[in-house]
Chains A and B, each alone.
Chain A
Amino acid sequence: MSEKIKLKIDGYEVEVEKGATILEAAKKAGVNIPTLCYHEDLDPSAACGICVVEFENKGGYQRSCCTPAEEGMEVITNSKTLRKRRKMIVELTLSNHHVDCPSCAADGKCELQELANHFGVETEAMPSVLEDKEKDKSSVAIERDPEKCILCGRCVEVCENIQTVNAIEITDRGFEANIDTPFGYGIGESPCINCGQCIVYCPTGALKEVDHLEKVWDAILDENKHVVVQEAPAIRATLGEEFGMEIGNVTVGKMYAALKRIGFDAIFDTNFSADLTIMEEGTEVVGRIKEGKDLPVITSCSPGWIKFMEEYYPELAKNVSTAKSPQQMMGVLTKTYYAEKEGLDPKDIVSVSIMPCTAKKFEAQRPEMSDSGYQDVDYVLTTREFVRMIKEARLDFKNLEPQEPYHALADYTGAATIFGATGGVMEAAIRSAYYLLTDEDMDSLDVTPVRGMEGVKEAELEIAGSKLKVAVAHGLGNARKILDKVKKQLEENGESEYAFVEIMACPGGCVGGGGQPYHSSIAMRARRGEGLYKEDSELPERASHHNQAILNLYEDFLGEPGSEKAHHLLHTNYFKRSVLTGKSIAKATGAHEKHLEKAAE
């Protein structure tokens, strides 16, 4: 039983658990004390000072974000002095900020803009002290604008402590303090894994994705180009909230309708290739379980996780499934199978994907992701870019009549749609692996122990008389816990207790991806995930091996799961990368190539 304490916030009595901060207590009393550097998911950095409060019964000022509430405290959250102080901090911050609201990626989402507006602060209340600072455009996924950075420290906190990537850190002191990568090489030559969590938590527009939107519009409006699009599972659970709908509302029909109106020539769905991934990865898992070789199998759909593995755990590369991610499977099929079927020249096809993810931009441009003979995916739009696209097209998204996609490469099952939430890939794989091992479906397809927002989840399953232990981790700090355990077990015993491990780079899985709207909190991510589980429960087919379109694809084109052709198009290799620059040093595995050689013999 935790101890309760009582205190007064602006005269209103409130009871909170001991250890709660004044900020939390005030929230309970119905007051949202203004904050700027604070975020509910992160440890307070106490950088901005805007949340100061006064006390009725004692002097002094304290930052409410990091000061524990105490029994009998009488907190004042609003007074003449406090108003002045808060205004002053917003004015100071604005005086060292590139105020560029109309064209800023964070316009309307910017917490600094909101506070300035609420407090009635004039932009030029204080003379600007901003110095010219160069944008960091070294990365293919993430762009930094130091002139907009307010040094709240959230990006560093999430990179260092939640993701344990350590790509950025505060360097220099005083007014010269800034956020930088090791040796100042820039994000593109840092250990950054492109997960984009820094963007999602940025209170301003100092961080954003590398924009592909202009190029996509150009392609769409070019008559000679055949522009196809795929959308990740998480997109359908997020779009609604950006257009005034409930968080977690799945708007798949409206999404297709918007894409049609925008003018894409063919609309596929990444959910289709998610089902395909399960067929390939599931076959690989079952094969390796039967052989007892290179276990556990670790999932490969999260490109942030893949780069993290290549930097920090290259010795586990042999354990990672060789199956490409759904985005890349769809990309390669577009420029082979689809082109062939439709009689199109793949060089005229522009393959666009809409992803909740910034790491997908990096994945799409990996040199090895060109098994079609072309770069399999040309452009990747984040959720934020797609939302802007819908807005630019002036579509009334909320009231669009739902529509169907254009092609069978969009048919999907419930197993595919839950890919967007943590534990989803695991659950989808279990549904099919069970079938592959026993020739029958599970009594209930719900694998609830792997669902939910717990950082590390474990489950023990009994399939065909043998016990299989699986683990799921989301957020790379959590992933380390499982990976270190696996590494130790492999080193000491030559085998691990786990047969299958799912890892997603972002907390909450793809619904919490770095391409999702600014300020996606853990609570919002959970609601989007629930939306996907709801869609799953309502779909007629809920296991990938029952996706008729997938079965047709194998019959028409690929042969069988794990076939030579499937391997050639749908599998890949990994590299060992420098933890300082993120550049590849050596090939970490040749598993996929070996497979091809063996097939050739």
Chain B
Amino acid sequence: MSVVTKYVLFGIDDNTLQAGARRVEEEFKRELKNAGLDDEIKVVETGSMGIIQKGVVILVEPDDIYYTEVTIDDVKEIVNEHLLKGRPVQRLKFDGKVDKSVVSFRESAQEIKKQNRVVLSNSGVIDPENIEEYIAVNGYEALAKAVTEKKPEDIVEEIKESGLRGRGGAGFPTGLKWSFTAPLDKKPKYLVCNADEGEPGTFKDRLIMEGDPHKLIEGMAIAAYAIGAEKGYIYIRGEYKLSIERTEKAIEDARKYGILGENIFGSGFDFDIEIKIGAGAYVCGEETALLNSLEGGRGNPRVKPPFPGQVGLWDQPTVVNNVETLANVPSIILNGHDWYREMGTEDSKGTKVYTILGHVNNPGLIEVEMGTTLRDIIYKYAGGVKGNFKCALVGGAAGAFIGKEMLDVKMDYDHLGKYKAVLGSGAILVMNQTACIVDMLKNTLAFFKHESCGKCTPCRIGNVHLYNMLDDITKAKGKEEYINNMLTLAESMQQSSLCALGQSAYLVIESATRYFEDEILEHIERKVCPQNVCEMK
């Protein structure tokens, strides 16, 4: 019997797959066999390692060495030099300066403790397609504890006490949401997981599903038990192929293990999950539009009230929660609300998963405590800015710009709210001095214009006018009154639109004009784009 001495872990997500991870993996297996190492060194697939835009990513354990942008041609060298002779290939090694602090990486025990990883604790560590690996890291223990030892109302109370708030963007207290539906007698009730992640620059839910689908399933089962639902749906956007595959497999495996289905853990609690695939409309991430779409109808937002908690899917009481929100649930149940409350700030407990993109040295996925400053996120975890920091668009298109003077703002629901910004989905788009704010705004408005469902007059027509004004400005046709007109119109839209989509333009326009009025005026008055980005003709 041979002894396994090393593991080669492949980070498999949509990015690495596109970079050819599977072909590199095949080559690796072949080379190991050729070298006679295949008994001793195992190739294992895992979820995202949190490093994106860096091609195929692998980790050699226990050496703790990451290689990025690995191609088929590199395989022979890694096998011969590193695995056979013990000399790591320096040219492919990932920049060691930041790897330890990017939380989704596999870190030392000490690092894990310091970071309090909750949602991403298993991502990039276990094989997401192997239920036993999940079980081995205390997976499904929280569910067992919940259904066999606790009453549904205790679970609702526990989540309420934990201070967990919705991670989809709005930050509504999760326990409170559950407490509206849990006591209702109307049956059936539904639990819907919103995995229609559409906010530009956000892909945290995708990586959670790709990296640790069982955590989501466990969270859903606990939530369903708490509110009295026997049926759950995961509404995943169609582009998330790997998320769909892995979640599908996880559901099947969970059924085989008796974790989903009838009489779970002998408790008498029945619950099963079905996946529904979205067709790519941004507005379907809005919970009532999502429900319409789930029912097979046009994805238009519904009038609220009544809220889905009372009248939801097929007019039955329905709780809609985001992927990240649900992925927080097992740890809270397992470790208790006091443990959870230790992390975060006064009103925002726990951790937050961010996707950070743009002009940073290490774009990727990170999970840090609520209240971590924007400065720390950018400089400590994302490797700092390429060039000079100009601003960050936080919260996606539906978010707001944060300028230099606000770098030390604590990132949580309430602190950001005070400064007319939002945490939103946790997307952080960092821009350096080369980015033009008018261009950014125009792109954002093009997005809103395109993604409006068209139901509501302020959003449907208002976004067109906002876009047209910005388009004029980029073509040296802007008028002085435009800044004021845009603000007034966007504010009107905020106050009279039915759903968050129509209400969103205001924040981004208001924050842009607050920090960069001069830059916009340059475009309008002097007909010059200081960054030389806009056409100006």
Tell me if A266 counts as interface (CB < 8 A to partner B): no
Contact with A along B436-456 (1 / 0, CB 8 A): 000000000000011111111
Contact with B along A282-303 (1 / 0, CB 8 A): 0000000000000000000000
> B303: which of A36, A44, A150 is its contact (CB, 8 Å)?
A44
Q: Is the CB of A174 within 8 A of B303?
A: no
Stretch of A1-9, A88-96, A479-487 that contacts chain B: A88-96
Q: Is the CB of B454 within 8 A of A177?
A: yes
Q: Is the CB of B453 within 8 A of A85?
A: no
Shortest beta-carbon distance, A303 to chain B, in Å? 31
Kindly list chain B residues whose C-beta atoms are within 8 Å of the C-beta of A66.
303
Q: Is the CB of B461 within 8 A of A47?
A: no
Complex alpha-carbon distance, A52 and B498, angstroms: 10
Report which residue of B305, B451, B458 has the largest number of chain A beta carbons within 10 angstroms of its beta carbon. B458
Tell me if A123 counts as interface (CB < 8 A to partner B): no
Kindly list chain A residues whose C-beta atoms are within 8 Å of the C-beta of B305.
67-68
Tell me if B497 counts as interface (CB < 8 A to partner A): yes
Tell me if A175 counts as interface (CB < 8 A to partner B): yes
Shortest beta-carbon distance, A81 to chain B, in Å? 7
Given contacts A85-B495, A173-B452, A174-B449, contact A49 B461 (CB under 8 A): no
Q: Is the CB of A93 within 8 A of B496?
A: no
> For residues 448 through 486 of chain B, which have their beta carbon under 8 Å from a beta carbon of chain A?
449-458, 460-465, 468
Kindly list chain A residues whose C-beta atoms are within 8 Å of the C-beta of B462.
92
Q: Which residue of B lies closest to A43 (CB)?
A: B303
Shortest beta-carbon distance, B81 to chain A, in Å? 54
Complex alpha-carbon distance, A127 and B460, angstroms: 15
Complex alpha-carbon distance, A61 and B492, angstroms: 11
Complex alpha-carbon distance, A89 and B457, angstroms: 7
Kindly list chain B residues whose C-beta atoms are within 8 Å of the C-beta of A151.
454-455, 457, 460
Q: Is the CB of A92 within 8 A of B465?
A: yes
> For residues 162 through 197 of chain A, which have their beta carbon under 8 Å from a beta carbon of chain B?
169-170, 172-177
Q: Is the CB of A170 within 8 A of B298?
A: yes
Q: Is the CB of A175 within 8 A of B460?
A: yes
Count of chain B residues near A, Cβ 8 A = 29
Tell me if A84 counts as interface (CB < 8 A to partner B): yes
> B461: which of A45, A68, A85, A93 is its contact (CB, 8 Å)?
A93
> B464: which of A44, A89, A129, A150 is its contact (CB, 8 Å)?
A129
> For residues 132 through 180 of chain A, which have their beta carbon under 8 Å from a beta carbon of chain B?
150-151, 153, 169-170, 172-177
Given contacts A49-B497, A85-B495, contact A175 B452 (CB under 8 A): yes
Complex alpha-carbon distance, A66 and B303, angstroms: 7
Shortest beta-carbon distance, A401 to chain B, in Å? 49
Kindly list chain A residues whose C-beta atoms are within 8 Å of the C-beta of B495.
52, 61, 81, 85
Q: Is the CB of A175 within 8 A of B456?
A: no
Kindly list chain B residues whose C-beta atoms are within 8 Å of the C-beta of A47.
455-457
> For residues 73 through 118 of chain A, which have their beta carbon under 8 Å from a beta carbon of chain B?
81, 84-85, 88-89, 92-93, 95-96
Complex alpha-carbon distance, A485 and B182, angstroms: 38
Tell me if B281 counts as interface (CB < 8 A to partner A): yes
Complex alpha-carbon distance, A66 and B455, angstroms: 15
Tell me if A236 counts as interface (CB < 8 A to partner B): no
Complex alpha-carbon distance, A89 and B456, angstroms: 10
Shortest beta-carbon distance, A286 to chain B, in Å? 46
Q: Is the CB of A95 within 8 A of B461?
A: yes
Q: Is the CB of A175 within 8 A of B454?
A: yes
Given contacts A85-B492, A89-B492, contact A96 B453 (CB under 8 A): no
Q: Is the CB of A129 within 8 A of B453?
A: no
Tell me if A46 counts as interface (CB < 8 A to partner B): yes
Kindly list chain A residues whose C-beta atoms are within 8 Å of the C-beta of B460.
151, 174-175, 177
Q: Is the CB of A63 within 8 A of B498?
A: yes
Question: With A48-B456, A61-B495, A173-B283 given, can you name 4 additional A-B contacts, CB distance below 8 Å?
Answer: A48-B457, A170-B454, A174-B451, A177-B460
Q: Name 26 A/B residue pairs within 8 A (Cβ), A-sorted.
A: A46-B456, A48-B456, A49-B456, A50-B496, A61-B495, A63-B498, A81-B495, A84-B488, A84-B492, A88-B496, A89-B496, A92-B462, A93-B457, A95-B465, A96-B461, A127-B465, A127-B468, A129-B464, A151-B454, A151-B460, A170-B454, A172-B454, A173-B451, A174-B453, A175-B449, A177-B454
Interface residues of A (CB under 8 A from B): 36-37, 44-50, 52, 61, 63, 66-68, 81, 84-85, 88-89, 92-93, 95-96, 126-127, 129, 150-151, 153, 169-170, 172-177
